[in-house]
Chain A
Amino acid sequence: MSVPPIPAALVDMVGRGVSVHVASRDARMRPSVMRGLGLDLDLAAGRITVFVSREQAGQLVLDLSANGHVAVVVSEPLSHRAMQLKATRATLRNAVAADEAVLARYLASMERAVQSVGHAPRMARAMLAHRIEDLVAVSFTPDQAFDQTPGPKAGAALGGQP
């Protein structure tokens, strides 16, 4: 069975450095949200992994564990290009030492990205500070992808199912 491809536009953007935010909701339909502290694309498996801090995102982690509903927005700070990905079967695991390389690569890309909009790289380091033992890896295969760049085309479906 073929794996739904990760949108090519997302692969491009992630290479240049993107902010990533993760949302879910609880049984009462109250939303939860936190910034991702790392991002990884597994093109072969069609899986996206975002790292969040348990300490910062307690409710989000609870909600994702409980129902698997996830919405993720990635955005390129300078161009405002943004894309939202949604899935209903997110899986969680604790981060491990082997994830450090991904986290370091992501931090380096974000240092460049925040500099492009006039912030010092230490801004990115403060935003993304973490302890590996506190991180949770949230993985999902996107069911839907939407263009979310501000403007008339925002909200348009990108590949995937509408």
Chain B
Amino acid sequence: MNGPQLCDIRPCLEGVIPAVMATCAADGTPNVAYISQVYYVDERHVALSFQFFNKTRQNILANPYATVLLLHPQTAAYYRLHLRYLRTETEGPLFEGMKAQLAGIASHTGMQDVFRLLGSDIYAVERIEALAGEPMPAPPARGGMLAAARRCSERLARGTSLDEALNAVLATLTDFMEVRHAIVLMLDGAGQRLYTVASCGYPTSGVGSEIGLGQGVIGMAARERTPVRIMHMTNAYLYSQAMRSSLEGSAPDAAAGPEIPYPGLKEPHSQLAVPVMSAGRLLGVLFVESPRDMVFGFEDEDMLVAMAGHLGAAIDLLQAGSEAPEAAPAAPPRPSASGEPLQVRRFASNGSIFIGGEYLIKGVAGAILWKLLKEHAQGRCDFSNRELRLDAAIGLPDVGDNLEARLVLLRRRLDEHGPHLRIEKTGRGRFRLALTRPVSLTEVA
């Protein structure tokens, strides 16, 4: 009879119930100890958390065979893994994924000052035994995930713009996966920061807010190009807190410019971030969170990874599509701008743009807006993606510039900021700047 496969026992690998590990010293003395984490690597490997230089550690370095007893958290069925130690990783995607999971486990069990991941010990799974017993019935299998994947795929395939692609992903999360809080972030051209392009479930959208690579769950998922999932409240990855304290701790930094607040929950109990990739490049991060514990399991992670793959491909294809502008539409009547001129100021020191007294945007999106406004003052209102791409002054990187994402960001910031400046799509790769009030442009040195 074939024994269970690792994929059959993934609920045992969620860190809900500690596992028990037996090893044997070179002199034949057995050792048995609790381990907080047995982490699913792939169908033939697990990683165990190496936290202390203890007897277990000494033993596996001398004799690589280990036997681990797992308990199913819902049914109380027992499984035994027969393992052979291969190697230890102390950085990289697997390590960071485990470290985040362990931080959640540690906080949940009051061990945050004790548990610290020193390494991810990778073991080959040589055999899995399902043990006799009287387990409780398994809860009904979670349905609908495949249908949700299909809906998401259909919506993405129908979409013709980045806006629609982002909406397709957020709608799938809310309509089919009961996700209440989600954020999509894109990587900026320099590849060091992520900026929010879409969100749902928050009092403010946070579009334009930024997170550094490696910062929090989102930044770590981006830096390591790996899913990061936490099932319990932990301070270890709470970047909103880090941001608050850094803002309180120093005078406003003129060079950095003003910040748009990060929209996320103050005390997330469950968090899951997956990288959005295409053709081997990181494009951004898809992130979901919840104020409750243990909301996102491995199935949610699988689903988000699948969605992120579709989204990444869609972003790349839409980007390529936007290269070929359609014929310019017939010149429309210029929208009439009337009333008091809006004061629009650009600060040369950091490229930030203010409308009236309020910060709007900086960076590439800011440079785009400034160009549009200056040309608008000369009488133009229709523009193409192509000309933006060719304009060196805007500072788009040569590769993977994600111009569409900058335009989505700019359009959404303008939408949120007031009714007087609008960017309207007029065709593939074309758009119009519409002003309902005149503007007065000032460059501030």
Set B28, B30, B36, B110: member contacting A23, Cβ < 8 A: B30
CB-CB under 8 A from B31, the residues of chain A are 23, 31, 71, 84, 86
Report the bound CA distance from A73 to B18 in whole Å: 13
The reply to whether B32 and A23 contact each other, CB–CB distance below 8 Å, is yes
Known: A53-B132, A129-B133, A146-B55. 7 other contacts (CB 8 A): A21-B32, A55-B131, A55-B132, A71-B32, A73-B32, A126-B133, A127-B76
Number of interface residues of B (CB under 8 A): 41
A102 interface residue per 8 A CB criterion:
no
Set B21, B28, B75: member contacting A25, Cβ < 8 A: B28
A15 interface residue per 8 A CB criterion:
no
A-B contact count (CB 8 A): 113
The reply to whether B32 and A35 contact each other, CB–CB distance below 8 Å, is no
Shortest Cβ distance from A53 into B: residue: B132
The reply to whether B75 and A150 contact each other, CB–CB distance below 8 Å, is no
Within 8 A of A (CB), among B65-79: 65-69, 71, 75-76, 78
CB-CB under 8 A from B78, the residues of chain A are 34-35, 56
Report the bound CA distance from A62 to B32 in whole Å: 17
What are 25 A-B pairs with beta-carbon distances under 8 A? A21-B20, A21-B32, A22-B32, A29-B63, A31-B32, A31-B67, A32-B22, A32-B67, A33-B32, A34-B80, A35-B20, A35-B71, A56-B78, A67-B28, A69-B29, A71-B29, A73-B20, A73-B33, A80-B109, A86-B31, A126-B136, A129-B134, A150-B51, A150-B114, A154-B54
B34 interface residue per 8 A CB criterion:
yes
Most chain B beta carbons < 10 A, residue from A31, A34, A71:
A31
Prevailing SS type, chain A contact patch:
strand
The reply to whether A31 and B23 contact each other, CB–CB distance below 8 Å, is yes
Report the bound CA distance from A154 to B21 in whole Å: 15
Residue-by-residue, is A141-152 near B (CB-CB < 8 Å gives 1, otherwise 0)? 000001010110
A136 interface residue per 8 A CB criterion:
no
Report the bound CA distance from A126 to B73 in whole Å: 11
CB-CB under 8 A from A146, the residues of chain B are 55
The reply to whether B32 and A69 contact each other, CB–CB distance below 8 Å, is no
A104 interface residue per 8 A CB criterion:
no
Set A25, A35, A71, A126: member contacting B69, Cβ < 8 A: A35
Set A31, A67, A155: member contacting B54, Cβ < 8 A: A155
Shortest Cβ distance from A86 into B: residue: B29
Shortest Cβ distance from B131 into A: residue: A56
CB-CB under 8 A from A150, the residues of chain B are 34, 36, 51-52, 111, 114-115
Within 8 A of A (CB), among B31-52: 31-34, 36, 51-52
